Chain A
Amino acid sequence: AQSVTQLDSQVPVFEEAPVELRCNYSSSVSVYLFWYVQYPNQGLQLLLKYLSGSTLVKGINGFEAEFNKSQTSFHLRKPSVHISDTAEYFCAVTRPTGGGNKLTFGTGTQLKVEL
């Protein structure tokens, strides 16, 4: 079984500052990794995903993430945040084969961008 840890429940940051949201995973097999964003009272929107290949993945809205196999991490970064980035961010993992195609989510990180 796999698991996901998001150590930071809340991350406050000023507008135009850089931000990093941390995600660590645990799995005995190779995995696919995802970052989703959730705005209040809405479903989840995919920001980016890592399947294989280049460890630096670029997503929508200026976000990127780097897969680090040795540290089992997939941290999300943005060089300059905007007020509209205020939302809940979820890291998720799934197995490429087997596992019933299930996603395992972290507990989420609330990003609050302040003026």
Chain B
Amino acid sequence: GAVVSQHPSWVICKSGTSVKIECRSLDFQATTMFWYRQFPKQSLMLMATSNEGSKATYEQGVEKDKFLINHASLTLSTLTVTSAHPEDSSFYICSARVPSSYNEQFFGPGTRLTVL
């Protein structure tokens, strides 16, 4: 089956630093990946759609200069949280769309970010 990995699985950083999270599709090529944010006991909130070779499409209210997304290859998308603040602490999940006749997404295991 389609496998998506994320690295790191958890990270703790100081306020003001930047953190990069990687999302990889391990056994398929993904032209489209998605980045979600999930607060405790809440649903997933789509942050942006990452398209290979082009700029990401951000959802309304998501700061593109703060959450930098790069999709440089067909198997890797990265999310960089710049100048992190404690309110950026959250669970970040990526997914990759499998090229098929329907829009199924396979999800990574998530990254827990804690900003001190």
Binding site for B on A (CB under 8 A): 32, 34, 36, 41-46, 49, 51, 90, 94-96, 100-103, 105-108, 110
Contact = CB atoms under 8 A, between A and B. Distances in A.
Given A90-B43, A100-B57, A102-B46, A43 B102 contact: no
Given A32-B103, A90-B44, A102-B46, A41 B57 contact: no
A44 B36 CA distance: 11
Given A42-B109, A43-B93, A102 B43 contact: no
Given A44-B93, A102-B34, A96 B102 contact: yes
Given A101-B97, A102-B34, A44 B107 contact: yes
B7 interface: no
Nearest to A6: B43
A41 B41 CA distance: 11
Interface of B: 4, 6, 32, 34, 41-44, 46, 49, 57, 91, 93, 95, 97, 102-110, 112
Main SS at interface, chain B = strand
B44 A105 contact: yes
B103 A41 contact: no
B103 A106 contact: no
Contacts of A100: 49, 57
A108 B57 contact: no
B42 A107 contact: yes
Contacts of A105: 43-44
Contacts of B106: 46
A41 B112 contact: yes
Contacts of A102: 34, 46, 49
A108 B110 contact: no
Contacts of B109: 42-43
Contact of A106 (B32, B43, B110): B43
Contacts of A107: 42-43
A108 B97 contact: no
B79 to A, nearest CB: 14
A100 B103 CA distance: 9
- Among B6, B46, B107, max chain A CB count under 10 A is at B107
